[in-house]
């Protein structure tokens, strides 16, 4: 069952914080303790929205959404699924709930910048991205550990950028986006200059 995290009893919200600490284990921008994870969950609920995947009172995973660019863009943050329940469709169901809610709130673009490559898991790690950013992005591949960008790609997200050295030298952040509407939009035509009219 997918339900709003904010409306859940304290016991479920405590599990949400614990999942952040456990699920992002080893991640430099992860949550080291329950206190910071509890504050993160509360902040996401305050500033945006969050959904929980539940089996009775057991939290299987949760997802948050945060508004950016005055609500035209909604960031998927955070997303975590309990380890023993991964690869069973829980993440997909949570992302679908995030997308529906962000769309309802007027999103044009859905994105995630949490897909850091902080452990040399992809071809973007340890290279000079400035040398040819589009080529490195076009040639992005997983180096065998199942980096989360593969998950997002399965769900229709595409790499729309990266931030070199976001997690330390040679450790970039990978930006992935998806149009919120069913149709992929094209860019608005540039305005014509008087000479062109
Ligand atoms: C990433 C994560 C949320 C995926 O959740 P999940 O419940 O295991 O994902 P699902 O079972 O819904 O997978 C949906 C699809 O993605 C694929 N997939 C999921 N994780 C994958 C991975 N690491 N590598 C390759 N494919 C993956 C699944 O095989 C499935 O494919 P399908 O289209 O053939 O069914 C989960 O692994 C997790 O919590 N990881 C730790 C935290 C994290 O990295 N969060 C995301 C970064 S912010």
The DSSP line for 106-134 is T-SEEEE------SS-BTTTTS-GGG-HH
- When mean pLDDT is compared over 25-29, 93-97, 142-146, the highest value belongs to 93-97
Is 42 or 184 the better-scoring residue by pLDDT?
A: 42
The better pLDDT of the pair 113, 139 is held by: 139
Q: Average pLDDT of 65-86?
A: 97
pLDDT at 115: 61
- Write down the pLDDT at residue 24: 80
Residue 91 CB less than 6 A away from ligand 1 = yes
pLDDT at 116: 63
Pocket test for ligand 1, best of 149, 151, 152, 154 (most atoms within 8 A of CB): 151
57 C-alpha to ligand 1 centroid (Å):
22
- Single pTM value for the model: 0.91
Q: Which pLDDT band, with edges at 50, 70 and 90, does 168 fall under?
A: confident
What is the reported pLDDT for 113?
81
- For residue 167, what pLDDT is reported? 83
Strands (E), the chain: 2-4, 49-55, 58-68, 73-81, 109-112, 158-163, 173-179
pLDDT value, residue 188: 61
Q: For residue 87, how far is its CA from the centre of ligand 1 (angstroms)?
A: 6
At residue 110 the predicted structure's pLDDT band, cuts being 50, 70 and 90, is very high
| pLDDT value of residue 185 | 57
pLDDT of residue 146: 87
d(CA 3, CA 132): 43
Q: How many CB atoms lie within 10 A of CB 101?
A: 18
Question: 113-182 adopts what CATH topology?
Answer: Aminopeptidase (3.40.630)
pLDDT band at 187 (very low <50, low <70, confident <90, very high): low
Amino acid 195: pLDDT: 57
Residue 9 has pLDDT above 90, yes or no: yes
As annotated, the residues of the chain forming the CATH 3.40.630.30 domain(s) are 1-112, 113-182
Cα of 191 to ligand 1 centre, how many Å? 42
- Taking the mean position of all CA atoms in its chain, how far away is CA 166? 16
Tell me which fold the domain 1-112 belongs to.
Answer: Aminopeptidase (3.40.630)
Ligand 1 atom 17: residue of nearest CA: 151
Ligand 1: nearest atom to the Cα of 90: 7
Q: Residue whose CA is closest, atom 22 of ligand 1?
A: 146
Q: How high is the pLDDT of residue 46?
A: 97
Average pLDDT, stretch 173-183? 89
Q: Which atom of ligand 1 is nearest to the CA of 77?
A: 48
């Amino acid at each position: 069952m997918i339900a709003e995290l904010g409306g859940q009893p304290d016991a479920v919200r405590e599990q949400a914080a614990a999942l952040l600490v456990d699920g992002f284990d080893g991640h430099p921008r992860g949550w080291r303790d329950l206190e910071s994870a509890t504050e993160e969950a509360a902040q996401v609920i305050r500033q945006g929205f969050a959904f929980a995947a539940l089996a009775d009172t057991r939290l299987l995973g949760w997802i948050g959404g945060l508004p950016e660019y005055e609500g035209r863009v909604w960031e998927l943050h955070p997303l975590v699924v309990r380890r023993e329940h991964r690869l069973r469709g829980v993440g997909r169901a949570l992302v679908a709930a995030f997308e529906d809610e962000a769309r309802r709130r007027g999103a044009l673009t859905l994105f995630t910048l949490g897909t850091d490559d902080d452990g040399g898991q992809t071809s973007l790690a340890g290279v000079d991205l400035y040398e040819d950013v589009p080529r490195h992005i076009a040639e992005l591949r997983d180096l065998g550990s199942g980096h989360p960008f593969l998950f997002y790609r399965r769900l229709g997200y595409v790499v729309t950028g990266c931030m070199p050295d976001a997690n330390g030298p040679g450790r970039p952040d990978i930006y992935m986006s998806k149009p919120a509407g069913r149709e992929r939009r094209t860019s608005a035509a540039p305005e014509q200059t008087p000479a062109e009219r």
